[in-house]
Amino acid sequence: MSDAFTTRTLAVTTGRRETVHDLTDACAAFLDEAAAGRDGLLNVFTPHATAGIAVIETGSGSDDDLLAALHTLLPADDRWQHRHGSPGHGRDHVLPALVPPHATLPVIAGRLALGTWQSVCLVDTNKDNPDRRVRLSFLG
């Protein structure tokens, strides 16, 4: 494989509750190896129909605010056509339209070029599937 493109898949356990799981440290560790000080792009992708990738502040309540906003926009009730799984599970399948399953981020000198308060996060509202995968791909 070329040094210009490197990819790795992370296994992430999100548990049995809705969560915003911070991936920033895992992204930085991957870039320490893959980017080796080079500029490029990091693509973060989750191959799930009920999860997304967000760049958001964490630890100050913003992650909880995001989950609360998703509850307002996508209530876990019986209005959804997609009805298998936990009550309201159909909303989990609409989530990726609002929180896409990918993000592409700049890498400068081998490090993520995030803003001061930005973190890369997996957003998972599906309580039925606690085992997730996230693919990190560096192009540089």
Q: pTM score, two decimals? A: 0.94
Q: What is the pLDDT of residue 86?
A: 85
CATH 3.40.50.720 given to domain 5-139: no
Token output for 117: 């308060």
Burial of residue 52 (CB within 10 Å: 0-12, 13-18, 19+) is: buried
Contact 50, 95 (CB under 8 A): yes
**How remote is the C-alpha of 123 from its chain's centroid?**
5
pLDDT per position as a tens digit, 46-75: 999 999 999 999 989 999 999 999 999 999
1 has pLDDT over 50: no
The half-sphere exposure of 71 on its side-chain side, counting CA atoms within 13 A, is 8
Helix, strand, coil percent content, the chain, rounded in steps of 5: 25, 35, 40
119-124/102-108 β-pairing? unpaired
Examine the pLDDT at 102 and tell me if it is beyond 90.
yes
Four-CA torsion 16, 62, 121, 23, nearest 10 degrees:
-90
Model confidence at 114, pLDDT cuts 50, 70, 90, reads very high
